[in-house]
A and B are shown apart, each in its own frame.
Chain A
Amino acid sequence: MSKEDPVTAEVRRETGSGTDLWSVIISPSIWALHFLVCYVSAAIYCQKLGRDAPLSDIRLLVIAATILALAGILWSSIRLWRVHDRSLTDDDFEYEHNTPEERHRFLSHVALMLCVLSAVAVIYVTIPMLYLESCR
């Protein structure tokens, strides 16, 4: 293998692995899965046990799913933070340069903010389960 010059090596280090379009949609996909698990499990539970059934059993499941989902989003955020946090070009939030590195930081920023949005949405969706008592 021929030796790379230091600049190419640096760019490759910055951009070789990390954020692509798939990792941008990880956190919203986690939200979608969490949403489906909550809705489907509660719907089946209430349909099979009748409208008077208390929600206490299913509540544990939903809370567990929420913790899992938030942990997944947190993991994704930490990964993205590392990429997002360093820059060779400049340190602004414009991401307007035509280098692979800027593209990389741009996608990481988008993904990171989507993590925040997804976490908020996951928490929102969990709230009804915390205060409702029965399937009514």
Chain B
Amino acid sequence: MTDKRAETAQLAKVWDNPRGWRALSDVNNSIVGLWYFAAAFAFMLFGGALALIIRMQLFVPDSTLVTSEFYSQAFTLHGTVMMFLFAVPIFEAVAILILPGMLGARDLPFPRLSAFGFWCYLIGGVFVCGSIFFNAAPDAGWFMYPPLSTEQSGIGADIWLLGLSFIEVASIAAAVELIVGVLKCRAPGMHINLTPLYGWYVLVVGGMILFAFPPLIAGDILFELERLLDWPFFDVTRGGDPILWQHLFWIFGHPEVYIIFLPAIALLAMIVPTFAQREITGYSWIVLSALGTGFLSFGLWVHHMFTTGLPSVSLGFFSAASEAVAIPTGIQIFAFIATVMLGSVVRSVPMLFCLGALAVFIIGGLTGVMVAVAPFDFQVHDTYFIVAHLHYTLIGGMLFPVMAGICYYYPLIMGKNLSRAYGIWSFWLMLVGFNMAFLPMHLTGMLGMPRRVFTYGADRGWTELNMISTVGAFIFAAGFLLLVWDCVRPKGHQPQVPRNMWNAGTLEWAASFGNTWGMRSIPEVNSRYPLWDDKDFLRKIDEGEGLLADAKEGRRETLVTSVLDAQPIQVLRVGTPSWLPMIAAAGLGGVFIFMTFKWWLLMGLGAVVFLGAVLRWLWTGTAEIPEKKTKDIGGGKRLPLYVSGYKSTGWWAMFITMTGDLTAFLALLFGYFFFWTIHPDFPPPGMFGPGWFWPAIAGVLILLAWALTLGARLVNSGGQPVLARLLLVLGALAALGGGLALMAGPWTTGLDPTAHAYPAIVWALVIWILAHLATGMLMQGYGFARLLYGKTTPTHDADLWNITLFWHFAAFSGVLTAVVIGGFPYLT
């Protein structure tokens, strides 16, 4: 027994949180998740306060409470904060907090990346929100339509663009972390058909982020190039088109609704079975509907653009897809209702919120089916009907489930219980207040009140409805604040809750409160609800009979398993507390923030800090060669400590990141072809660049750089690291030449990016590729240095695998760009 006690003490020491001011350097998922959560809620309260100001202004007609300028800033910031700083990050927060426990992992595979994402989010969020105190907040609506936003907005539009681009980095970081987590870090035996539904939803949503966020990043780049350098992508007088922004924004914006909705509904999939005290009904149906929704949600974006004058057949396609998405969405709802009906429901606060969520969301879903019909949408577009619809979907589909999740998981995270009476009061206040605020808006909209007007005349007949809405909004806010108070009020005198107080069946409840290592030992999982099915389960975990019960080497370790059948394949050493993620985030934040004010010198400084921190982080913290080849994890199993290539988590992270990167590139390329479709002559008369010669040279050199990098990996694994170094140097030279040649095309033919949208988009593509070539060269240099210092060897070559993978993508984008800008003008 002493052995076991020593093991426990060692685990506690290895996973101990840093204390004092060093606590801020923590990276453990249980702490970073909590920070994330607290920040998201702080932003939510801020956005809510703005909403109350909006409602107060609309309480009476011809109100003069706030000015029109302030009102514009308030509603823009309200939408922006709720969507970008609350709805999406709360998903990341909850997932970082509970996913590892659910999967039986000690931590997520890249804890430092989570911390980096959190700091990016916090800095960007404070920057965007803070602007309203300087009367400089964005004021063109949360979707920033040009030309209003490009021609008239002050610095607010830049703050919106750069602040949010920065936060998108955090989302993509979270996507990488969570996808790899679900696929590779499940407990042994947790086959893909036994994975908790929450894991499935996170996987789907992670995939969606990779295809939804990058088009917005591409759009942001074009937008900022127009604002900063006057490149006319959205300026009709110089061949641009504001509709391009609408496309890029909504290719992001519609899937985003589902990115918000799915992980919240996933909480329902965890909570409902617990309180119905039976397994979920139709597990496989829920999985398929999550996947189906994920796909179909990408075919809906034009339904936000029904009134832009697109051909009716285009509207028809999107209208049809918008109706089709109701099918998988409905399947999940029916599965939840069936679970409730087949089980014997335990009355509880989380369950109240779940049922409220279903009721409210169904109403929002039904009005969604209404507005998906184009002729109906023509009538209510940009009215309060839409405001009502979107709040029903978001509050029913996201806020209520998150509230249920808070009440459900609070005892697990904090060790104390929330008050039942407060919870019930809070629920009814929120439900009644919400419906009082938003149900009348359907009518207000039908009566013709447009959204975003700062006041209205008494003769319009909207007064009473608006008054009811305002009163409802305050009741709703009271209910919300009651729950917040219940969460933060001191509970020192309360006893600690018993373990697994709701008698849940899933793995996260096996954790005992008060440690950061998750479970004492990692169990073998044989069913979807191991805590229900195996009465001996907890004892086996606690007595260290599972795997990886010790941390003899003093390192933080978790198990990596195979994707489908969760066979253990590696012991992964995960990151320990470090200041580097925070410093890197501060550097990157500097780049984005100083760019807003055009303080170039400081911006350069930020870039240097960022690069320095990232390089140091990589150099000291990743792909470390372990002191021994394998480790005994118990149960007679020995697993390798180092793997490279597609077996490693790092390779998958690179693959996922680059998939997102490729999506952004394709969105830029979409811009190029979009301009082709709208111009009768393309390239426009009088513009001859970039010719075929320089792009052809560039394409060849980029291919060469790729081949040399791949060659370096191959000869290194063949036992010739010195030759590999030489190939990397040559590869970097080829990349440099390729970049220069690519630039020479538009340069020598005198394409002026401010003259017309055509040269502007050509230059935008060129700049994108140049940035990738420069990153690729940096990586080649990094690989060279790793080889030189013996940190990469013929048998330990994870770095080279990842660099090569980057180059696969970079070369593909580079060559495609060369072919398109060099070749396409000759086809038209």
Let me know if A51 and B313 touch, CB within 8 A.
Answer: no
Residues from 422 to 456 in B contacting A, C-beta threshold 8 Å: none
Min CB distance, A120 to chain B, in Å? 7
Per-residue 0/1 for A99-111: is the Cβ within 8 Å of any B Cβ (1 yes, 0 no)?
1101100110111
Flag if A42 contacts B312 (CB, 8 Å).
Answer: no
| A48 touching B292 in the complex, CB below 8 Å, given contacts A124-B321, A128-B313, A128-B319 | no
Within the complex, the shortest CB–CB distance from A41 to chain B, in Å, comes to 10
Chain B residue at smallest Cβ distance from A126: B320
Q: Is B624 in contact with chain A by the CB < 8 A criterion?
A: no
Any B CB within 8 A of the CB of A21: yes
CA–CA, A124 and B317, complex, Å: 8
**A28-B292, A39-B317, A98-B526 as given contacts; A106 in contact with B193, CB under 8 Å:** yes
A29-60, CB < 8 A from B: 29, 31-32, 35, 38-39, 42-44, 46-48, 51, 55
Chain A residue nearest to B680 (CB atoms) is A48
Minimum C-beta distance from A52 to chain B (A): 11
B528 contacts A by Cβ under 8 Å:
yes
CA distance A130 to B717 in the complex (A): 58
Most buried by A among B563, B564, B678: B564
In Å, the complex CA distance between A127 and B677 comes to 25
* Inter-chain contact B320/A106, CB cutoff 8 Å: no
Q: Are B328 and A135 in contact (CB under 8 A)?
A: no
Q: How far is the CA of A130 from the CA of B687 in the complex (A)?
A: 41
| Given A51-B311, A129-B316; A96-B324 close (CB under 8 Å) | no
Does B543 belong to the interface (CB within 8 Å)? Answer: no
A71 to B609, CA, bound (A): 55
CB atoms of A24 and B317 under 8 A apart: no
In the assembled complex, the CB of A115 is this many whole angstroms from the nearest CB of chain B, namely: 10
Contact B564 A103 (CB under 8 A): yes
8 Å CB contact of A121 from B324, B565, B678: B324
What's the Cα separation between A93 and B284 when bound, in Å? 8
With A100-B191, A100-B565, A125-B321 already in contact, the answer to whether A117 and B328 are too (CB < 8 A) is yes
Cβ–Cβ contact B311 & A35, under 8 A? no
Residues of A within 8 Å of B526, CB to CB, are: 98
The answer to whether B189 and A43 touch across the interface, beta carbons within 8 angstroms, is no
Q: CB within 8 A of A98: which of B191, B321, B564?
A: B191
Judge whether A67 is part of the interface by a CB distance below 8 angstroms.
Answer: no
Interchain CB contact (< 8 A) of B324 among A98, A109, A110, A120: A120
Q: Is B589 an interface residue (CB 8 A)?
A: no
A5 CB to nearest B CB, Å: 19
CA A20 to CA B72, docked complex, whole Å? 50
Give Cα A38–Cα B311 distance, bound, in whole angstroms: 13
Does B327 make an interface contact (CB < 8 A)? yes
CA–CA, A117 and B315, complex, Å: 21
Is the beta-carbon distance between B299 and A125 smaller than 8 angstroms? yes
User: Is B327's CB under 8 angstroms from A120's CB?
Assistant: yes
Beta-carbon contact of B525 and A98 below 8 Å: yes
Minimum CB–CB distance from B197 to chain A (whole Å) comes to: 12
Interface size class of B (residues with CB under 8 A): 35 or more
Q: Is A85 an interface position by the 8 A CB rule?
A: no
* B317/A46 in contact, CB under 8 A: no
Contact A110 B288 (CB under 8 A): yes
Q: A96-B528, A117-B327, A129-B316 are in contact. Are A135 and B311 (CB under 8 A)?
A: yes
Asked if A94 is an interface residue, CB under 8 A from chain B, the answer is yes
Among A28, A94, A103, A124, residue most surrounded by chain B Cβ atoms (within 10 Å): A124
A61 contacts the other chain (CB 8 A): no
B193-A95 in contact (CB<8A): yes
Closest B residue by C-beta to A48: B677
Complexed CA–CA distance, A45 and B311 (Å) = 10
Interface contact A46-B288, CB-CB below 8 Å: no
Instruction: Give how many A residues have a beta carbon under 8 Å from the other chain's beta carbons.
Output: 47
Contact A110 B284 (CB under 8 A): yes
CB pair A46–B291 under 8 Å, yes or no, is no
Assess whether A28 is in contact with B189, with CB atoms less than 8 Å apart: no
- On whether the beta carbons of B324 and A124 are closer than 8 Å, the reply is yes
| Complex interface: chain B residues within 8 A of A3 (CB) | none
The residue in A20, A28, A120 that gathers the most chain B C-beta atoms within 10 A of its C-beta is: A28
Tell me how far the C-beta of A92 lies from the nearest C-beta in chain B, rounded to whole angstroms.
11
CB distance from A123 to the nearest CB of B (A): 9
Interface contact B193-A107, CB-CB below 8 Å: yes
Bound: A20/B565 CA distance, A: 11
User: Which of A94, A102, A114, A127 makes the CB contact (< 8 A) with B292?
Assistant: A114
Residues of A within 8 A of B319 (CB): 128
Would A98 and B311 count as touching, CB distance under 8 A? no
A9 lies within 8 A of chain B by Cβ: no
B284 and A39: CB pair below 8 A?
no
Contacts of A35 in B (CB 8 A): 299, 317, 321
Q: A46-B313, A107-B192, A113-B288 are in contact. Are A21 and B564 (CB under 8 A)?
A: yes
Contact of A25 with B by CB under 8 A: yes
B318 nearest CB neighbor, chain A only: A39
* Distance in Å: Cβ of B103 to nearest Cβ of chain A: 15
Interface status of A64 (Cβ within 8 A of chain B): no
0 or 1 for each of B396-433: is its CB under 8 Å from A? (1 = yes): 00000000000000000000000000000000000000
Cβ B292 vs Cβ A117 within 8 A:
yes
Residues of chain A within 8 A of B314, CB atoms compared: 39, 42-43, 46
Decide if A102 touches B316 in the complex (CB within 8 Å): no
Residues of A within 8 A of B298 (CB): 32
In the assembled complex, the Cα of A32 lies from the Cα of B797 at a distance in Å of: 37
Q: Which residues of A contact B317 (CB under 8 A)?
A: 35, 38-39, 42, 125, 128-129
Q: Does B663 count as interface, using CB distance less than 8 angstroms?
A: no
CB closest residue in chain A, given B190: A98
Q: How far is the CA of A48 from the CA of B677 in the complex (A)?
A: 7
Complex Cα distance A107/B194, Å?
11
- Asked if A95 and B323 make an inter-chain contact with CB atoms under 8 angstroms apart, the answer reads no
- Chain B minimum-CB-distance residue to A94: B283
Check B324–A103 contact: CB distance below 8 A.
no
Does B754 have its Cβ within 8 Å of any Cβ on chain A? no
* Separation of A47 and B310 alpha carbons in the complex (Å): 9
- Closest residue on chain A to residue B203 by CB atoms: A21
Say whether A114 contacts B316, CB under 8 Å: no
Q: Which residues of B contact A95 (CB under 8 A)?
A: 193, 283-284
Q: Within the assembled complex, what's the spacing in Å between the Cα atoms of A82 and B677? A: 45
Chain B residues lying within 8 Å of A129, measured Cβ to Cβ, are: 313, 316-317
Known: A38-B317, A127-B316, A129-B316. A32 touches B192 (CB 8 A): no
Residues of chain B with a CB closer than 8 A to A32's CB: 295, 298-299
Q: Are A109 and B313 in contact (CB under 8 A)?
A: no
CB closest residue in chain A, given B321: A125
8 Å CB contact of B295 from A20, A31, A93: A31
Q: Judging by beta carbons under 8 Å apart, are A114 and B191 in contact? A: no
Q: Which of B189, B284, B291, B320 contacts A25 (CB 8 A)?
A: B291
CB distance from A94 to the nearest CB of B (A): 7
A127 pairs with B320, CB closer than 8 A: yes
Q: Is B820 an interface residue (CB 8 A)?
A: no
Give chain B interface residues in 659-681, CB to chain A under 8 Å: 677-678
- By beta carbon, the residue of chain B nearest A46 is B311
Contacts of B315 in A (CB 8 A): 128
Min CB gap B246→A, angstroms: 14
In the complex, whether B287 has a CB less than 8 A from a CB of chain A is yes
A106-B284 contact given A35-B299, A43-B314, CB 8 Å threshold:
yes
Say if the beta carbon of B296 comes within 8 Å of chain A. Answer: yes
Across the two chains, which residue of chain B brings its CB closest to A28? B295
Collect the chain B residues with CB atoms within 8 Å of residue A48's CB: 677
Are A98 and B189 neighbours in the complex by a CB distance under 8 Å? yes
Residues of B near A99 (CB, < 8 A) are: 191
Residues of B within 8 A of A (CB): 189, 191-194, 279, 283-285, 287-288, 291-292, 295-296, 298-299, 310-321, 323-324, 327-328, 525-528, 563-565, 677-678
Complex A-B, nearest 5 residue pairs according to Cβ-Cβ distance, in ascending order: A128-B316, A106-B193, A28-B295, A124-B320, A46-B311
Supply 7 A–B pairs (Cβ within 8 Å), ascending by A.
A32-B295, A42-B317, A47-B678, A93-B284, A98-B527, A124-B323, A128-B317
Apart from A42-B314, A96-B528, A98-B527, 7 more pairs, CB < 8 Å:
A31-B299, A35-B321, A113-B285, A120-B324, A121-B296, A125-B317, A129-B317
